[in-house]
């Protein structure tokens, strides 16, 4: 596992596109210590690897697939109503440099 | 040092479904920006994905054409990253269990067949479209969620030409199977190329460079050839190839750096819990495969074995799905398959080129063309007459008989005994010409045919007349 | 007239006999909501509610929800009504579509009165992390106690008698824990029994729509309206639904009930323990088989970290759509990254940011096996152990919480067995997708506390039936908080 410290956590936060206060990073580091310790303990259980990782609460395989029928689209007004960056029927951002 | 290029391709194909892969938003082209979305496409909170059946059918068709193992259960994962064009902050894709794995396709290089391995094919969704201006970028979500399949080759391609042929083949498959428009220029087929070089015989891979944004099949070869040359020069000069993403500039005919790949992005893939596993029954998979229209490869074989076409004609017909479909439609009205192929490949294509239109706008129905070909086949009209009729048919929007009538062309005489009578008449009247012919004077034959034509107002079938006259002369 | 303590059946009778109109009920509920002192509301749907109530027409004798007011946790999408998830990142967001459950309740002609506060984006159990601050427990007039979260506003509004039922959501215990603190029924049905379409996702493999009510039968009525397949949620179950209220009073003495000894033992509060033991004795006396069973402490201690890692990991991805581009307040920036970073930095509260970092760390390629995948494996280990018990027993019966609602400044020791087990065992039902219901069994210092009954997947009706029995035995139903009343 990746080693972690305040800088690693800051980097992780920035990759999630937000920042936090210094105090919060300290709190986070403490929380991290606890979780990592607890997860280590779970890993100490020898039989654990025999268990298939559980994604769904119970067996729920389906055969449902949606028919390919388009629904009524949102009007442009509805689609963009909530955007703080709407401009001329589109959403406007600072130039995205590729 | 002899270098060997190692090339792998990642091809994204937009599927032409009616609705999006995970929402019922319409899939359309050319509509006003942001008028073709439903809440999921804009990632409004609380929206949930549902899997488009037709998207799955299309993916299965391509898997089958690429000889892949088809998973009988669908599993989806999330690929997590942030980007301006990615509404949800993740893309729904298939990481651990792609629908197709372990396939291949065959390309022909210098007359020899080569199998190119295909690692995987998975279903995913498109991002929104960005339009870049000098100071800002506009986002249009109409495209967001459009179904995509990604086809990942093994790094088994060894030249720009091989790569180009591989892409051509993939394009042919997705177009003929009715899965996609397959237009690189319009982005419905997109190709990312990974190129590295290594010493020939080496097992190790060199530093990989990715080339993005190649928007035409012909540029694939050019971009790769340039890149191989560039990398070879760097290594020959003792340099080191940088791990980076480059783009192909078709004006400069070279690849240019876009960005360095300093550390690879961790997409934090994990299972999509909003879609439970979906069982694909054997019957469903079978139906998806059987509902697939005939692919180019099979058509080519059929044209050659059943219709007796040569490789050139057959290949030309299947190089375009609509043309081959037009040809197929015509075969319902004539059995003169070879002649028909000639007419489609020469006259029809010529007309399309001259008028700069596509086959779907070609005004002559398959039934009409078939009728014309039949006239030619039974020697009712000469080839030259037939061309006149062809033009008239289009002008007047009529069938071949009607056009022939308008043009006042009367049917050729193909009755052998009738023609023989005239021939014998001409021979009797021109004994000197027989002598001239026997002495090897070439013009004599032409003169005699001319006489036959004169006596019949040019209505005899010229080839038949020629054959009969030669036979008759042999006997004298 | 005061309708606050009436059940749905009682209100229904008044409505059908036209002694009261839906408009009367809506008006009273709105007046109460406006006078709310517990910070239960994000938005009061005055105009919408009055219009809907006026438009109802003739009473429907066979529709118990006709004209009944209710409130909606503010993480359900409501068309044309602001929905914030109690987060600044969604300030001003007005959805263009209704959640399926909202649509269904509208179709059942129940009247939505307002949107209620929650822990920010449903991540939290205290009811203090929403952008409007603390939500108070109506049972405590001094405003010193939490009502619990994350469905704090729905719990407060229901226990204060503003409405007879409310929508909540439950990812770990977000409906069932506040129900315990507020003297309510809190029901988390089987995962996939109710469509999640329109519920803001926290951790989809655990998320379930929750129901608050003041008696068991009311809860069954609401489930009747909500349960069923929805093609907008492809995970929703195609299994047929039942009439969950019908014959709810019919006893089934064949039910077998298990109590996990180690969980009961982890509780130090004797009032809670004694009340629970008494409830067990009462069930036995009533003729039910109740046995103590065992799950190792070692396994129980893994409940919380397993839940924490899975839910944080899923949450970080589910909230990646909140970036200030398609919705949310305007944020500035010279690049799109700056725009997104500013939106998210300002928009998210500190607690959930920490959870996002932990979740994303757990998903990183180099960590995933040791954190996320390990938690997923352990989830199965837990679920297997629970299902082993449920093969033999119809239900698992336990105290819902280690005590009454804590005070705001009570700091629990996050590493103690009591915290890790007694305070966090309700997530078992989320791990296994089981129907699980909390109901009141006693009081301490005038504050209620509850017990929890968990059944087999899709045996929601049995859970409601045994709960009805327990309710009969305790006599605790239609409780309305006295503390919050003026």
Going from the N-terminus, what domains does chain B have, and what CATH number goes with each? 3-279 (no CATH), 294-407 (no CATH), 416-474 (1.10.10.410)
Contact C234, B76 (CB under 8 A): no
Is A20 inside any structural domain? Answer: yes
Contact B7, B224 (CB under 8 A): yes
Active-site residue flag, C268: no
Of C77, C150, C154, C195, which one is the catalytic site residue? C150
Q: What is the pLDDT of residue C483?
A: 57
Cα(B427)–Cα(B432) distance, integer angstroms:
9
Does residue B438 surpass a pLDDT of 50?
Answer: yes
Tokens of C483: 């503390």
Cα(C155)–Cα(C136) distance, integer angstroms:
10
Partners of residue B44 in chain C, C-beta under 8 Å? 77, 95-97, 326-327
The DSSP H or E segment spanning B93 is strand B90-93
Classified by CATH at the fold level, domain C8-239+246-253+434-474 comes out as Amidase signature (AS) enzymes (3.90.1300)
Say what percent of chain C tops pLDDT 90: 96
Cα(A78)–Cα(B125) distance, integer angstroms:
23
Of C7, C73, C77, C195, which one is the catalytic site residue? C73
B27 shares contact with chain A (CB less than 8 Å): yes
B45 shares contact with chain A (CB less than 8 Å): no
Q: Does residue B109 sit in helix, strand or coil?
A: strand
Q: What is the pLDDT of residue B424?
A: 87
Task: Choose among C13, C7, C1, C2: nearest CA to C479.
Answer: C7
DSSP letter (8 states) at residue C339: H
Dihedral of CA atoms C101, C104, C110, C112 in degrees, nearest 10, equals 40
Measured between CB atoms, which of C97, C319, C363 is closest to B268? C363
Give me the residue label for tokens 């550390």: B263
CB neighbour class for C481 (10 Å; exposed up to 12, middle 13-18, buried from 19): buried
pLDDT (tens digit per residue) in B174-202: 999 999 999 999 999 999 999 999 988 88
Contact C202, C123 (CB under 8 A): yes
Label residue B454 by pLDDT band (50, 70, 90): confident
Alpha-carbon Rg for chain C in angstroms: 21
pLDDT (tens digit per residue) in B290-346: 999 999 999 999 999 999 999 999 999 999 999 999 999 999 999 999 999 999 999
Q: What is the pLDDT of residue C1?
A: 58
Partners of residue C197 in chain B, C-beta under 8 Å? 46-48
Chains contacting B (3+ CB pairs below 8 angstroms): A, C
CB contact under 8 A, C325 and A93: yes
Is A79 inside any structural domain? Answer: no
Phi-psi region of B182 (alpha: psi -120 to 50; beta: other; left: phi over 0): left
Give me the residue label for tokens 């039968």: C217
How many cross-chain Cβ pairs, A to C, lie less than 8 Å apart? 180
The domain tally of chain A equals 1
Partners of residue B266 in chain C, C-beta under 8 Å? 364-365
Say what percent of chain C tops pLDDT 70: 99
Partners of residue A61 in chain B, C-beta under 8 Å? 73, 276-279
Most confident of B257-266, B437-446, C247-256: C247-256
CB contact under 8 A, B88 and C231: no
Task: Choose among C310, A74, C105: nearest CA to B44.
Answer: A74
Does residue C486 surpass a pLDDT of 50?
Answer: no
Which C residues 316-345 touch A at CB under 8 Å? Answer: 316, 320, 323-331, 333-341, 344-345
CB contact under 8 A, B87 and C204: no
Nearest CA in chain A to C429: A57
Instruction: Give ∠ CA C15-C16-C22 in degrees, rounded to 5.
Output: 30
CB contact under 8 A, A78 and C375: no
Q: Does residue A89 sit in helix, strand or coil?
A: coil
Does residue A27 surpass a pLDDT of 80?
Answer: yes
B356-366 core/surface letters (b: 16 or more CB in 10 A; e: else): eeebeebebbb
Cα(B467)–Cα(C7) distance, integer angstroms:
107
Give mean pLDDT, residues A57-73. Answer: 97
Cα(B423)–Cα(B429) distance, integer angstroms:
10
The DSSP H or E segment spanning C159 is helix C152-159
B281 shares contact with chain A (CB less than 8 Å): yes
Contact B132, B139 (CB under 8 A): no
Is A89 inside any structural domain? Answer: no
Nearest CA in chain A to C207: A57
Partners of residue B49 in chain C, C-beta under 8 Å? 234
How many cross-chain Cβ pairs, A to B, lie less than 8 Å apart? 119
CB contact under 8 A, B134 and A62: no
Cα(B314)–Cα(B233) distance, integer angstroms:
42
Segment among A65-79, B70-84, B278-292, B378-392 with least mean pLDDT: B378-392
Give the closest-approach CA distance of B148 to chain C in angstroms. 20
Q: What is the pLDDT of residue C484?
A: 42
Does residue B350 surpass a pLDDT of 90?
Answer: yes
Phi-psi region of C438 (alpha: psi -120 to 50; beta: other; left: phi over 0): beta
B256 shares contact with chain A (CB less than 8 Å): no
B237 shares contact with chain A (CB less than 8 Å): no
Cα(B378)–Cα(B127) distance, integer angstroms:
57
Whole-number average pLDDT of chain C = 96
CB contact under 8 A, B137 and A95: yes
Instruction: Give ∠ CA C26-C30-C33 in degrees, rounded to 5.
Output: 140
In B370-448, the DSSP E strands lie at: none
End-to-end CA distance of chain A: 32
Measured between CB atoms, which of A17, A70, A94 is closest to B136? A94
Domain range enclosing A37:
6-46
Whats the size of chain B, residue-wise?
Answer: 476
Give the closest-approach CA distance of B184 to chain C in angstroms. 28
Give mean pLDDT, residues B352-366. Answer: 95
Cα(C234)–Cα(C237) distance, integer angstroms:
8
Task: Choose among C309, C286, C297, C267: nearest CA to C399.
Answer: C267
Q: Does residue C329 sit in helix, strand or coil?
A: coil
Partners of residue C374 in chain A, C-beta under 8 Å? 39, 42-43, 48
Bridge partner list, A63: none
Which C residues 38-77 touch A at CB under 8 Å? Answer: none
Chains contacting C (3+ CB pairs below 8 angstroms): A, B
Instruction: Give ∠ CA C113-C116-C118 in degrees, rounded to 5.
Output: 170
End-to-end CA distance of chain C: 16
Instruction: Give ∠ CA B439-B444-B445 in degrees, rounded to 5.
Output: 105
pLDDT (tens digit per residue) in C334-345: 999 999 999 999
A77 shares contact with chain C (CB less than 8 Å): no
Segment among B408-412, C91-95, C175-179, C322-326 with least mean pLDDT: B408-412
Partners of residue B88 in chain C, C-beta under 8 Å? 320-321
Give the closest-approach CA distance of C359 to chain B in angstroms. 10
Contact C15, C66 (CB under 8 A): yes
- Most B CBs within 10 Å, among C101, C167, C197, C202, to test the B interface: C197
Q: What is the largest CA-CA distance in chain B?
A: 100
CB contact under 8 A, C90 and B45: yes
Contact B465, B416 (CB under 8 A): no
Give the closest-approach CA distance of A48 to chain C in angstroms. 7
Is A11 inside any structural domain? Answer: yes
A75 shares contact with chain C (CB less than 8 Å): no
Contact B11, B119 (CB under 8 A): no
Backbone angles phi, psi at B263, to 5 degrees: -130, 140
ipTM over 0.95: yes
Measured between CB atoms, which of C205, C306, C340 is closest to A17? C340
In C136-207, the DSSP E strands lie at: 165-170, 185-188
C323 shares contact with chain B (CB less than 8 Å): yes
C322 shares contact with chain B (CB less than 8 Å): yes
Backbone angles phi, psi at B102, to 5 degrees: 60, 60
Give mean pLDDT, residues C22-38. Answer: 97
Bridge partner list, C289: C256
CB contact under 8 A, B39 and C97: yes
Cα(C346)–Cα(A84) distance, integer angstroms:
15
Say what percent of chain B tops pLDDT 70: 100
CB contact under 8 A, A85 and C324: yes
Give mean pLDDT, residues C409-436. Answer: 90
CB contact under 8 A, A71 and B50: no
Say what percent of chain A tops pLDDT 70: 99
Cα(B17)–Cα(B21) distance, integer angstroms:
8
Q: What is the pLDDT of residue C305?
A: 97
C31 shares contact with chain A (CB less than 8 Å): no
B275 shares contact with chain A (CB less than 8 Å): no
Nearest CA in chain A to C234: A64
Does residue C451 surpass a pLDDT of 50?
Answer: yes
Cα(C447)–Cα(C467) distance, integer angstroms:
21
Q: What is the largest CA-CA distance in chain C?
A: 71
Bridge partner list, B260: B244
Does residue C401 surpass a pLDDT of 70?
Answer: yes
Active-site residue flag, C467: no
β-pairing, C185-188 vs B147-153, is unpaired
Q: Does residue B271 sit in helix, strand or coil?
A: strand
pLDDT (tens digit per residue) in C366-400: 999 999 999 999 999 999 999 999 999 999 999 99
Measured between CB atoms, which of B44, B90, B266 is closest to C365? B266
B33 shares contact with chain A (CB less than 8 Å): yes
Contact C288, C253 (CB under 8 A): yes
Q: What is the pLDDT of residue C268?
A: 95
Cα(C302)–Cα(C313) distance, integer angstroms:
17
A15 shares contact with chain C (CB less than 8 Å): yes
Give mean pLDDT, residues B231-247. Answer: 90
Active-site residue flag, C150: yes
Tokens of C36: 């709310």
């Amino acid at each position: 596992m990746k080693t972690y410290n305040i800088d690693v956590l800051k980097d992780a936060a920035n990759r999630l596109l937000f920042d936090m206060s210094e105090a919060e990073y300290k709190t986070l580091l403490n929380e991290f210590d606890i979780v990592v310790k607890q997860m280590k303990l779970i890993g100490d259980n020898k039989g654990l690897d025999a268990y298939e990782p559980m994604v769904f609460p119970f067996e729920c395989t389906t055969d449902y697939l949606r028919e390919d029928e388009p629904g009524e689209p949102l009007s442009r007004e509805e689609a963009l109503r909530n955007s703080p960056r709407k401009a001329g029927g589109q959403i406007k951002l600072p130039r995205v440099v590729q | 040092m002899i270098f060997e290029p190692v090339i792998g391709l990642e091809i994204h194909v937009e599927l032409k479904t009616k609705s999006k892969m995970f929402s019922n938003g319409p899939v359309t082209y050319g509509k006003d920006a942001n008028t073709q979305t439903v809440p999921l496409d804009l990632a409004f909170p609380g929206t949930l994905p549902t899997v488009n059946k037709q998207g799955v059918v299309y993916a299965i068709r391509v898997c089958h054409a690429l000889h892949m193992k088809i998973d009988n259960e669908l599993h989806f994962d999330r690929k997590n990253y942030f980007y301006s064009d990615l509404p949800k902050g993740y893309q729904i894709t298939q990481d651990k269990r792609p629908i197709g794995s372990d396939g291949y396709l065959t390309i022909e290089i210098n007359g020899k067949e080569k199998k190119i391995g295909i690692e995987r094919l998975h279903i995913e969704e498109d991002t929104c479209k960005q339009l870049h201006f000098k100071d800002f970028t506009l986002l249009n979500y109409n495209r967001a969620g459009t179904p995509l399949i990604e086809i990942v080759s093994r790094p088994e391609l060894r030249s720009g030409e091989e790569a180009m042929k591989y892409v051509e083949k993939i394009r042919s498959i997705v177009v003929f199977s009715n899965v996609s428009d397959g237009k690189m220029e319009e982005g419905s087929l997109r190709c990312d190329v990974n190129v590295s070089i290594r010493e020939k015989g080496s097992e190790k891979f060199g530093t990989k460079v990715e080339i993005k944004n190649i928007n035409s099949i012909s540029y694939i070869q050019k971009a790769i050839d340039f890149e191989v040359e560039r990398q070879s020069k760097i290594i020959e000069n003792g340099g080191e190839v940088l791990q980076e993403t480059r783009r192909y500039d078709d004006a400069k005919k070279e690849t240019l750096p876009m960005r360095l790949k300093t550390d690879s992005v961790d997409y934090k893939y994990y299972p999509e819990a909003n879609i439970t596993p979906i069982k694909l029954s054997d019957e469903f998979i079978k139906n998806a495969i059987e509902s697939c229209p005939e692919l180019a490869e099979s058509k080519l074989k059929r044209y050659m074995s059943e219709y007796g076409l040569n490789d050139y004609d057959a290949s030309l017909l299947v190089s375009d799905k609509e043309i081959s479909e037009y040809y197929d439609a015509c075969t319902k009205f004539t059995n003169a398959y070879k002649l028909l192929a000639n007419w489609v490949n020469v006259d029809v294509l010529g007309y399309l080129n001259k008028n700069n239109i596509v086959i779907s706008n070609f005004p002559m129905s398959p039934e009409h063309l078939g009728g014309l070909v039949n006239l030619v086949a039974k020697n009712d009209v000469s080839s030259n007459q037939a061309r006149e009729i062809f033009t008239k048919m289009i002008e007047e929007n009529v069938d071949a008989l009607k056009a022939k009538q308008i043009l006042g062309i009367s049917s050729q005489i193909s009755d052998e005994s009738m023609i023989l009578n005239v021939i014998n008449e001409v021979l009797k009247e021109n004994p000197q010409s027989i002598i001239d012919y026997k002495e090897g004077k070439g013009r004599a034959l032409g003169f005699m045919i001319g006489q036959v034509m004169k006596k019949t107002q040019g209505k005899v079938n010229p080839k038949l007349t020629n054959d009969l006259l030669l036979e008759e002369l042999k006997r004298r | 007239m005061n309708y606050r303590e009436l059940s749905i059946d009682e209100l229904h009778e008044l409505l059908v006999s036209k002694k009261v109109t839906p408009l009367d009920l809506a008006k009273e509920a709105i007046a109460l909501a406006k006078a709310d002192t517990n910070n239960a509301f994000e938005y009061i749907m005055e105009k919408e509610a009055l219009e809907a109530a006026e438009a109802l027409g003739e009473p429907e004798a066979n529709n118990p929800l006709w004209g009944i007011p209710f409130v909606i946790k503010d993480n359900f999408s409501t068309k044309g009504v602001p929905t914030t998830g109690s987060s600044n990142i969604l300030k001003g967001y007005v959805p263009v579509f209704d959640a399926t459950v909202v649509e269904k309740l509208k179709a059942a002609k129940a009247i939505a009165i307002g949107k209620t506060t929650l822990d920010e984006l449903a991540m939290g159990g205290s009811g203090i992390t929403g952008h409007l601050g603390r939500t108070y427990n109506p049972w405590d007039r001094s405003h010193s106690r939490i009502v619990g979260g994350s469905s704090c506003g729905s719990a407060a509004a229901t226990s204060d008698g503003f409405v007879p039922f409310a929508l909540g959501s439950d990812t770990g215990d977000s409906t069932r824990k506040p129900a315990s603190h507020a003297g309510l029924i809190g029901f988390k049905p089987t995962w996939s029994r109710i469509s999640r379409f329109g519920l803001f996702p926290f951790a989809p493999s655990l998320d379930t729509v929750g129901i608050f009510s003041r008696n068991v039968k009311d809860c069954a009525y609401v489930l009747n309206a909500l349960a069923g397949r929805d093609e907008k949620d492809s995970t929703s179950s195609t299994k047929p639904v039942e009439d969950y209220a019908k014959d709810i009073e019919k006893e089934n003495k064949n039910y077998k009930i298990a109590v996990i000894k180690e969980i009961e033992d982890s509780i130090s509060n004797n009032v809670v323990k004694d009340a629970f033991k008494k409830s067990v004795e009462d069930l036995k006396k009533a003729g039910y088989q109740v046995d103590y069973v065992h799950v190792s402490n070692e396994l129980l201690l893994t409940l919380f970290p397993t839940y924490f890692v899975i839910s944080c990991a899923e949450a970080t991805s589910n909230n990646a759509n909140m970036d200030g581009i398609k919705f949310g307040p305007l944020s500035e920036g010279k690049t799109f990254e700056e725009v997104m970073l500013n939106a998210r930095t300002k928009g998210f509260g500190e607690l959930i940011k920490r959870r996002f970092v932990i979740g994303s760390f757990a998903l990183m390629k180099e960590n995933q096996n040791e954190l996320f995948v390990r938690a997923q494996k352990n989830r199965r280990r837990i679920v297997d152990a629970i299902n082993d018990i449920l093969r033999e027993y119809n239900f698992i019966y336990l105290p819902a919480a280690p005590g009454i609602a804590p005070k705001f400044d009570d700091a629990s020791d996050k590493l103690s067995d009591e915290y890790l087990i007694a305070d966090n065992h309700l997530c078992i039902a989320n791990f296994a997708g089981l129907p699980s219901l909390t109901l009141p069994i006693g009081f301490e210092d005038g504050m209620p506390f509850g017990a929890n009954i968990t059944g087999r997947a899709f045996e929601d009706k049995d859970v409601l039936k045994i709960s009805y029995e327990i309710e009969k035995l305790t006599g605790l139903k239609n409780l309305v908080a006295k503390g919050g009343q003026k």
